[in-house]
Amino acid sequence: MNNSEDTQQSNIITKKDLRRANRRWLMSVCTFNYQSQQGASVVYALSPSLRKIYKDDEDYVEALNNHFQYFNTQPWLASIILGAVLAMEEKQGKEVQRAIQDFKIGIMGPLAGIGDSLLMVLIPTIFGSIAAYMAKEGNPIGIILWFIIILIIFFFRMRCFEFGYKQGMKVITEYGQKLTYITEAASVLGLTVIGALIPSVINLKVLAKFKFGDVTMEIQPLIDQILPSLIPVLITFIVYKLLGYRRMSVTKIIFLVIIFAMILARFGILA
């Protein structure tokens, strides 16, 4: 058995195993906890494949314990890392446990950066705002459009393990440079859209009026002459500054905005 190890090991993990691991990785954030974050989901996804690689119980338990450690990244792109991990486990076996954990930790950050900005922020911002506008007028077309995008992404997501397995580490090192350009370009697209969101999404009008004896003067038209959407810009700027303080959580800020809004509404200043 030992002498034929090299030739046999090259196809322990089949396409079917990779698809299965990909499906099981849907567990991703479900086991999220403050100790190992997504670690247990990695175990859940990889365990059937690891069992095939490590016939010996002791080796298997060692590999499982390795994967029970801390892991956290954008779950869709994580599939690529985990596919590559399976390739490493299969080719080099238990000698590289330490290296595998280092690889996972090292690649986690950059992938989370790309994944969060592209998949979790940019796409939901653009398609979410389009869908929301249409929905507010009772039109579901925007939602359907977004759903199509979601399905396309899902199709690719379900193949990421195979991709990662085939490319191993090559993908991240070789395409690394291009990935940074894509992230940069995505930021440009994102910021352009966000710039447009302030005037279109935040609807605020000043109700308060100046009174000079008999003459009343509306404030809103004055503001419009200075800068359309001045009030939304100011509010966004204040919240942006508040978010910079360590002690300000998002939840606290949302509560503050609600309280602030109630005070303004009480005195009829804004609507």
Partner 1 sequence: MSFTVLQVILITLLAFIKHIDYYGIPMLFVNYPVFWGLFTGIIVGDVNTGLVVGGTVQLMALGVSGFGGSSVPDYGTTTIIATAIGTKMGIEAGLALGIPVGMLGVQFDVIVKILNGFVVKKSQEYANKKEFKKMNLVLWICPILFGLSAAIPVFISLTLGTTAVNFLLNNMPTWFISGLTLAGNMLPAVGIAMLLRFMPLKQYINYFLIGFVISAFLKMPVIGVAIVGFALAFDLYKRREHEASLNISGGGDNEDE
Which of 62, 39, 46 is CA-nearest to residue 13?
Answer: 46
Q: Which is nearer to partner 1, 10 or 173 (CB)?
A: 173
Quote the least distance from Cβ 187 to partner 1, whole Å: 5
- Chosen residue from 2, 3, 56, 57 binding partner 1 by CB under 8 A: 57
Structure tokens at 228: 């359309």
Contact between 79 and partner 1 per CB under 8 A: no
In this structure, the number of other CB atoms found within 10 A of the CB of residue 68 comes to 14
Contact between 236 and partner 1 per CB under 8 A: yes
Stretch that binds partner 1, among 5-13, 82-90, 96-104, 251-259 (CB under 8 A): 251-259
Bridge partners (DSSP) of residue 161 are none
In this structure, the number of other CB atoms found within 10 A of the CB of residue 43 comes to 22
Quote the least distance from Cβ 124 to partner 1, whole Å: 7
Contact between 68 and partner 1 per CB under 8 A: yes
- Chosen residue from 184, 211, 212, 246 binding partner 1 by CB under 8 A: 184
- Chosen residue from 114, 121, 179, 208 binding partner 1 by CB under 8 A: 121
Contact between 156 and partner 1 per CB under 8 A: no
Whole-number Å distance between alpha carbons of 76 and 93? 25
Total interface residues for partner 1 by CB under 8 A: 111
Stretch that binds partner 1, among 3-11, 91-99, 191-199, 209-217 (CB under 8 A): 191-199
Q: Which is nearer to partner 1, 12 or 27 (CB)?
A: 27
Q: Identify residues 216-235 at the interface with partner 1 (CB under 8 A).
A: 227-229, 232-233, 235
Contact between 168 and partner 1 per CB under 8 A: no
Q: How many residues does the chain have?
A: 271
Contact between 65 and partner 1 per CB under 8 A: yes
Q: Which is nearer to partner 1, 60 or 91 (CB)?
A: 60
Which of 159, 158, 147, 155 is CA-nearest to residue 123?
Answer: 147
- Chosen residue from 9, 101, 125, 167 binding partner 1 by CB under 8 A: 125
Contact between 164 and partner 1 per CB under 8 A: no
Whole-number Å distance between alpha carbons of 166 and 55? 23
* Beta carbons of 9 and 33 less than 8 angstroms apart: no
Q: Which is nearer to partner 1, 56 or 214 (CB)?
A: 56
Whole-number Å distance between alpha carbons of 109 and 233? 32
Q: What is the DSSP string of 23-91?
A: HHGGGGGGG--TTTBTHHHHHHHHHHHHHHH--SHHHHHHHHHHHTS-B-S-HHHHHHHHHHHHHHHHH
